[in-house]
Amino acid sequence: MKEETKKQLDYMLKTLEKAGVYDHAGHIVQFDMETACPRDAMEEQADLVAYLNNQVFKLTHTKAFIAAVDHLHAHEEELSVHEKAMVDSFYRMFRRTRDIPASVDHKINKVFNKAYVDWIKAKEAADYSLFEPSLKAVREAELKKMEYIHDRKERPYDELLDLFEPGMTQEVLDDCFAACTERLLPLLAKIRKSPKKIRTDFLYREVPDTAQAEMSRYLMDLLGYDFNRGMFTTTEHPFTDSLGRKDTRITTHYDPHHFISSMYSIIHETGHALFDMFSPDAEWDYHYHEEKSMGQHESVSRFYENIVGRSRAFTDLIYDKTCEIFPTAMKGVSPDEFYEGINMVEPSLVRTEADEFTYVFHIIIRYEMEKLIVNEKADIRKLPLLWKEKYEHYLGVTPGNDAEGILQDVHWTSGFGYFPTYALGNFYNAMYYNRMKKELDVPGLIAKGQIPVINHWMEENVWKNAARLDADPWIREITGRSLDPTDFLDYLENKYGQIYGL
């Protein structure tokens, strides 16, 4: 490595060490705000998060830091694989942020954090009007950021998609979702007409939070979560956050009358956590740990939640323990009824509680709305009505209030473009599951509780290179193919065709 390159690399690493202190503190305060902070203190705490995030922005947007990244990017042949990954992550970010003044960045962060506080209040009151001004401000903030991009994409929404899934476009998603509706809507109609009767009454028997917490811990331990490097607690909307190299935390939410909601929430979030816990140390050493795309991340969380967690082998594996922890709810429930109940297909209102089959329609609805909100600047006041129309069109259900309708998700408090990655995650994991099945007896391993063998395969094939590869080269490295929803659609047709005798 030449002397100037070494000098710039040293400067970049030292700066990122300083910025990392603020970033770490920001994650801790954010986690506290979303889990333990008193309601009346939330807005003040949100301002603190905005301040800490802004310090990171200032340190990584000085002329000297930008110059260091530019120099290193121009001399990448002198860098190691991990140094290059670090430089590439900042060089790509600077396309969007290098010209944004620190003061503007601070204001935008405050908009997002205030939106979260307003969303909490609005959801509790089931009153969209309390959130409406903040949602409008979020859209304005998103569009304001784009004004500083010199080579921005023609459509604003493509910029937002690229932020969460680099290289993703509306054309690709339109084709994928068209394939989903073409194959799944007719199948949904057949399922609903099927004479197969699935028992679900036991799923709504009352289960106390203490028992659900015990089940959560059992499932996390079964899947390989390291409690020496993590913990779990509750919040309004479940999430996972890596606060540090050895600190990955999970949150969940308990519904006393729907115990599988927290069970599959915790399995989903444990998938996210495993991805981070098993990441190479180099991602932290070179500050590109957060470069994994959300499609990559959601592929893992939904792999554990659905392909593993809703499989017959897994429900049989946890059946006895579920009966032990939930004796009243599981009284008189057979293993067959447990498996089928967990996989019951029933159009519903709430995305996070949707069955595996209809879940993709919840994402399509949000995707179609986000395009209208961002590209067409749809009237923010009329969104609840649009939401109801789309739920009636795709799923034949209508929300009775805003809490189970447009206010159910937290994501719009921090912008747009995330939701499609949930569907992309399904497409990706079905692709690599088909390869995994050729190399491992997956149902046999699950049946024996040998989840670590599956985790090791995931570590070597899915997790190891995710942060330094964009999603397309990553999935091609794993499967030899680019994104294709066909594997996922085949998986659903086969699984639910068997369950419903189609």
Instruction: Spell out where 330-419 has E strands.
Output: none
Catalytic residue among 34, 159, 269, 291: 269
Question: Is 206 designated active site?
Answer: no
Main-chain dihedrals φ then ψ at residue 403, nearest 5 degrees: -65, -40
Q: Maximum distance among all alpha carbons in the chain? A: 74
Buried b (16+ CB within 10 A) or exposed e, 200-216: eebbebebeeebbbebb
DSSP SS3 for 233: strand
d(C-alpha 213, C-alpha 197), whole Å: 31
Short-list 370, 362, 418, CA closest to 168: 418
Dihedral of the alpha carbons of 171, 173, 174, 177, in degrees to the nearest 10: 160
d(C-alpha 296, C-alpha 283), whole Å: 15
| Token reading at 165 | 């899934």
d(C-alpha 328, C-alpha 341), whole Å: 16
Kind and range of the H or E run holding 248: strand 247-252
Residue 243 CB neighbours (<10 A): 17
- Give Cβ neighbours of residue 289 (< 8 Å, ≥ 6 apart): 242, 276, 279, 283, 467
240: which strand partners?
250
3-state helix, strand, coil in the chain (%, to 5): 70, 5, 25
- Give Cβ neighbours of residue 238 (< 8 Å, ≥ 6 apart): 250, 251, 252, 253, 265, 266, 268, 269, 352
| Token reading at 317 | 């594996």
Asked whether 134 and 98 are in contact (CB, 8 A), the reply is no
Catalytic residues, by residue number, are 269
